[in-house]
Amino acid sequence: NKSLVWFRRDLRDYDHAALYHALKNSTQVICAFVFDTDILTQLTNKQDRRVEFIWESVHELKTALQQQGSDLLVLHGKAADEIPKLAQTLAVDTVYCNHDYEPDAMARDLTVQQALDQTDIAFKSFKDQVLFEKDEILTKSGTSFSVFTPYKNACLKTLNDFYLKAYPVDRYIHHLAIMDPQSMPSLESLGFGRTNLKQLKLPTGMSGGSTLFEDFSNRMARYRDARDFPSIKGPSYLSVHLRFGTVSIRHLARTAWQQGGLGAETWLNELLWRDFYFQILHHHPQVATGKSFKAEFEHIPFPNDERLFEAWCKGQTGYPLVDAAMRQLNQTGYMHNRLRMVAASFLVKDLLIDWRWGERYFAEHLIDFDLAANNGGWQWAASTGCDAQPWFRIFNPVTQSEKFDADGKFIRKYVPELQACTSKEIHAPWLMPPLRQQALGLMIGKDYPSPIVDHAMRREQALALYKQVSHKA
């Protein structure tokens, strides 16, 4: 019997739930990937690092399957039509894939399933990209968790070898269909151009994922102490690989679990944050449509000044750490987690701009953009989400800078205008007396912006804004 494995955000050939089940249950397995026009046409920037990352990763997966005497069929079209058509042409019994939890993807999968139903082809989908999904982790009373710490504790209680073991794809690899090598559409023919991905030295594909993880494994024990400082190599930089499944979540979590110790435990917690937001999306799908997780904060009357928003997007707010963060995002598609928190809090609580504007900007620019984590992160920063902290937590952008980039090394990298400032001056350069500015050849307000808002004042305004709606509730 024949089956088709439809790859999506799981671009690897090992420890892969759908591939394993297909190989185990069929004698001839054909693999396919679709560059989905429904998604690609929504991308207005035709030099998108994500598309290039996917293209490179698909290419590597294809090469790996060719080395097994098989291939990856790579199509370009509307996936919801292409997959049922391909399944019929190939006369397979079953289409296998892995669960996707985003509403658009789920709607697409339902369309595919319904089309396949009409031709008596089965559609089977599996948990693959998370450790726990849907209703696997619930409170004692059977409801879903909306606060991370008790959720995490419940996960850690449940976690065992069963959830962490790899799918032994190799055991049945001889069931891959033997195929002649086929070509794949070029990046250009998909309507996209090359980006600076190669210069960024962000390795793509399964090989890139394993190179990064190998490097991080040696640093995992120090993760807890290093992860908050953007100028040092603290985190794993694996988010884009988790996004596109060029690493296996089970492999990463198993390594951390077996290693133990404070560093590995802290990192495992971060992987559980990722699961947490997926289950929030599952239980509260309305968050994907711009709704606040906490209903009382649905209609905060943000003034939404477009000029302030533009300055934030460009990294021209006059607050060096925020600007460095936004420039890192614009230049590389990545932003350090500490900085995501600082930049997001600044947009909402200093610039008084609707968190949904920031969410959209991140969605367009992050190479690791993931609806669940991005929405979760933004709602957390805006205090509209599932956070145990009250809404009056407001980050001070200068204090954060002094604490997490004390010597200004990260700021200097992305805001070269401030190169000559001392590590004391660099966090609030507008405080330098005019004579000092002159001596440095750096006029604040000319060579680098004066702060576009006054933090202390805006803090009070933000508090008033939130108080207004929280009282109404």
Query: By C-beta, is 62 or 340 nearer to ligand FAD?
Result: 340
Q: Which single residue brings its beta carbon nearest to ligand FAD?
A: 377
Q: CB of 237: closest distance to ligand FAD in angstroms?
A: 4
Q: CB of 179: closest distance to ligand FAD in angstroms?
A: 34
State yes or no: residue 224 binds ligand FAD (CB under 6 A). Answer: no
36: left (phi over 0), alpha (psi -120 to 50) or beta: beta
How many Cβ atoms are within 10 Å of 387's Cβ, its own excluded? Answer: 19
State yes or no: residue 74 binds ligand FAD (CB under 6 A). Answer: no
State yes or no: residue 337 binds ligand FAD (CB under 6 A). Answer: yes
Q: How many residues bind ligand FAD (CB under 6 A)?
A: 27
Task: Select from 203, 377, 397, 408 the one that contacts ligand FAD (CB under 6 A).
Answer: 377
Query: By C-beta, is 164 or 426 nearer to ligand FAD?
Result: 164
Query: By C-beta, is 96 or 319 nearer to ligand FAD?
Result: 319
Task: Select from 34, 51, 313, 366 the one that contacts ligand FAD (CB under 6 A).
Answer: 366
Query: By C-beta, is 253 or 444 nearer to ligand FAD?
Result: 253
Cβ-contact 47, 90 below 8 angstroms:
no
Q: CB of 144: closest distance to ligand FAD in angstroms?
A: 17
Task: Select from 268, 281, 341, 465 the one that contacts ligand FAD (CB under 6 A).
Answer: 341
State yes or no: residue 236 binds ligand FAD (CB under 6 A). Answer: yes
Q: Which neighbouring-strand residues pair with 28?
A: 2
State yes or no: residue 325 binds ligand FAD (CB under 6 A). Answer: no
Task: Select from 121, 256, 381, 394 the one that contacts ligand FAD (CB under 6 A).
Answer: 381
Cβ-contact 50, 197 below 8 angstroms:
no
Query: By C-beta, is 123 or 404 nearer to ligand FAD?
Result: 404
Q: Which stretch binds ligand FAD (CB under 6 A): 57-65, 133-141, 145-153, 233-241?
A: 233-241
Q: Which stretch binds ligand FAD (CB under 6 A): 122-130, 132-140, 338-346, 399-407?
A: 338-346
State yes or no: residue 362 binds ligand FAD (CB under 6 A). Answer: yes
* HEC string for the chain: CEEEEEECCCCCCCCCHHHHHHHHHCCEEEEEEEEEHHHHCCCCCCCCHHHHHHHHHHHHHHHHHHHCCCCEEEEEECHHHHHHHHHHHHCCCEEEEECCCCHHHHHHHHHHHHHHHHCCCEEEEECCCCCCCCCCCCCCCCCCCCCHHHHHHHHHHHCCHHHHCCCCHHHHHHHECCCCCCCCCCCHHHCCCCCCCCCCCCCCHHHHHHHHHHHHHCCHHHHHHHCCCCCCCCCCCCHHHHHHCCCCHHHHHHHHHHHCHHHHHHHHHHHHHHHHHHHHHHHCHHHHHCCCCCHHHCCCCCCCCHHHHHHHHHCCCCCHHHHHHHHHHHHHCCCCHHHHHHHHHHHHHHCCCCHHHHHHHHHHHCCCCCHHHHHHHHHHHCCCCCCCCCCCCCCCHHHHHHHHCCCCHHHHHHCHHHCCCCCCCCCCHHHCCHHHHHHHCCCECCCECCCCCCHHHHHHHHHHHHHHHHHHC
x/- string (CB under 6 A) for ligand FAD, residues 262-281? --------xx-xx--x----
Q: Which stretch binds ligand FAD (CB under 6 A): 290-298, 334-342, 414-422, 446-454?
A: 334-342
Query: By C-beta, is 231 or 337 nearer to ligand FAD?
Result: 337
Q: CB of 259: closest distance to ligand FAD in angstroms?
A: 14
Stretch 85-144 residues interacting with ligand FAD (CB under 6 A):
none
Q: Which stretch binds ligand FAD (CB under 6 A): 14-22, 108-116, 365-373, 440-448?
A: 365-373
Q: Which stretch binds ligand FAD (CB under 6 A): 73-81, 372-380, 397-405, 435-443?
A: 372-380
Binding site for ligand FAD (CB under 6 A): 227, 235-239, 242, 270-271, 273-274, 277, 337, 340-341, 344, 362, 366, 368-370, 373-374, 376-378, 381
